[in-house]
Amino acid sequence: MGSIESLSMTQTTGDDAEHCHIMQLPCNWQIREAAILAPHAMHATDSAGRVHKESPHPFRSPYQRDRDRIVHSAAFRRLAHKTQVFTDYPGDYHRSRLTHTLEVTSIARTLARSLALNEDLAEALALAHDIGHPPLGHAGEDTLDELLQEAGGFNHNRQALRIMTLLEQRYPGFPGLNLSQEVLDAQSVRAKLPTAPPPLLETQVVDAADSIAYDTHDADDAIELGFVRLEELLELPLVAKAAENVDSQHGKLDQLLLRRAVLHELIELQVAGLVTETSSRLRTMGDASVDRIKEASTGGNRLVIHDPKVQQGKYELEEFLFQRVYRSDQVMKIRQQSQEKMRDLFFWYCETPHALPSGYFQRSQTVGLLRSVADYIAGMTDRFFNRDATHRLKT
């Protein structure tokens, strides 16, 4: 663990130290981390490094480099044209995977800062958490999983690891993005790999931020698209509490402002409750080290949690959204159409492998045709998928 005392004029810790000296001074990021991070935070000076060794950067920490590599990746850019839930719906209001990712990142940074965790690491994890999603939302993922049962199945979290370590081609010295081990470990946790280590607090923070974002913003999108009315949501205790807070602060508002204020307050309630409950838990552990945090986070245990009342409210909100939105007749009809189109295009490429881009065709010789076709389709945006399907499947 880094500390101000350990960053002397003549010595710093970690591989980056030798490149961080100007007049024998440690890097700004090292000083900052030592000053503001809690003992239970993951310090970049303690990083396990990268699979492919690289020269350290003179003024960016390892996790800042990870963040930048993710943002500049093709997989990240494609999130702009991949939808969350409401595939094939007109309009530009509802979320894409990219806007969702940015919202998760914003919440994750707030949580990390409030808990004195490593914001740079939390930001990198949040930015990367959805890059493995295929087109057409969960319908696309479920279809690819079905089609790849003989080849190990498909999961967007495992696909993100493939992108990070293999598929993204940006650097001449190695495949993938060569991210820090802590980023790969966090994604392994999300993918539920048997080899995944216990999650860092930064990993747990991003998972919580993801849940806060999609619960709130799926509700917002559902109202905008006419699936539910605000009045129905206000019958749920957690949303009702948010509305009560809004009323006490602002009085009577018109319908649009009320909706937006309530949804904003819904995020505030969840964030505040989580910070309070988590801080209380961490205080009982004293100056716990990262290793101690990992020990306490084994077997699915989590230290970053909501207070019981907020958690119950989230369960009720999620059940409401599941019944009224995710399983609605409109969404299920589009889901069925999307799955049929996905199957047809997948089989077309399996029968016409030479139509794959050369890199995917060559890789099929080593990873198998099914996996390579899935890699290619999973990298498509919704609009590219629909154009390609229209072109390839024309009769």
* CATH assignment of the domain containing 75: 1.10.3210.10
Rounded to whole angstroms, how far apart are CA atoms 304 and 263?
22
Please state, in angstroms and rounded to a whole number, the distance separating the CA atoms of residues 251 and 258.
Answer: 10
Asked if the structure places residue 247 within a domain, the reply is yes
| pLDDT digits 0-9 by tens, 211-255 | 999 999 999 999 998 999 999 999 999 999 999 999 999 999 999
Task: Decide if pLDDT at 25 tops 90.
Answer: no
Q: Is residue 246 part of a domain?
A: yes
Question: Tokens 């498509």 sit at which residue?
Answer: 380
Residue range(s) defining the domain that contains residue 117: 61-335
Q: What is the DSSP letter of 108?
A: H
How high is the pLDDT of residue 9? 29
**pTM (predicted TM-score):** 0.91
Q: Is 249 within the bounds of a domain? A: yes
User: Minimal CA–CA distance to 343: which of 137, 155, 146, 89?
Assistant: 146
Question: For 258-275, what is the mean pLDDT?
Answer: 97
Q: What is the pLDDT of residue 150?
A: 94
- With bands split at pLDDT 50, 70 and 90, how would you rate the model's confidence at 87? low
Predicted confidence (pLDDT) per residue in 133-149, tens digit = 999 999 999 999 999 99
Whether residue 112 lies inside any domain: the answer is: yes
Cα angle at 198 between 197 and 201, to 5 degrees?
125
In a domain, 357, yes or no: no
Confidence of residue 88 (pLDDT cuts 50, 70, 90): low
Does some domain include residue 386?
A: no
Residue 258 buriedness (CB in 10 A; 0-12 / 13-18 / 19+): middle
Residue 379 pLDDT > 60: yes
Write out pLDDT tens, residues 158-192: 999 999 999 999 899 899 999 999 999 999 999 99
Q: Is residue 309 part of a domain?
A: yes
Alpha-carbon span 85 to 359, nearest angstrom: 31
Whole-number pLDDT of residue 27: 78
Q: Specify the pLDDT at position 26.
A: 58
Tell me the average pLDDT across 341-353: 98
Structure-token match 């207070």, residue found:
307
Task: Map 125-161 to HEC letters.
Answer: HHHHCCCCCCCCHHHHHHHHHHHCHHHCCCCHHHHHH
* Residue at token pair 């949501």: 233
Q: What is the mean pLDDT of the segment spanning 55-76? A: 95
Q: How many domains does the chain have?
A: 1
Whether 348 maps to a domain, the answer reads no
Q: What's the pLDDT score for residue 95?
A: 82
Residue 18: what pLDDT? Answer: 44
Among candidate residues 139, 154, 95, the one with its CA nearest the CA of residue 332: 139
d(CA 213, CA 314): 12
CA distance 131 to 161: 9
User: Residues 6 or more apart from 310 whose CB is under 8 A from it?
Assistant: 238, 269, 270, 273, 274
Q: Is the pLDDT of residue 357 over 70?
A: yes
- Decide: helix, strand or coil at residue 50: strand
The position carrying tokens 């205080």 is 283
Indicate whether 261 pLDDT > 80.
yes
Q: Which residues contact 51 (CB under 8 A, 6 or more apart)?
A: 165, 174, 178, 181, 184
The whole-angstrom separation of Cα 266 and Cα 255 is 16
Region of 166 please: left (phi>0), alpha (psi -120 to 50) or beta.
alpha
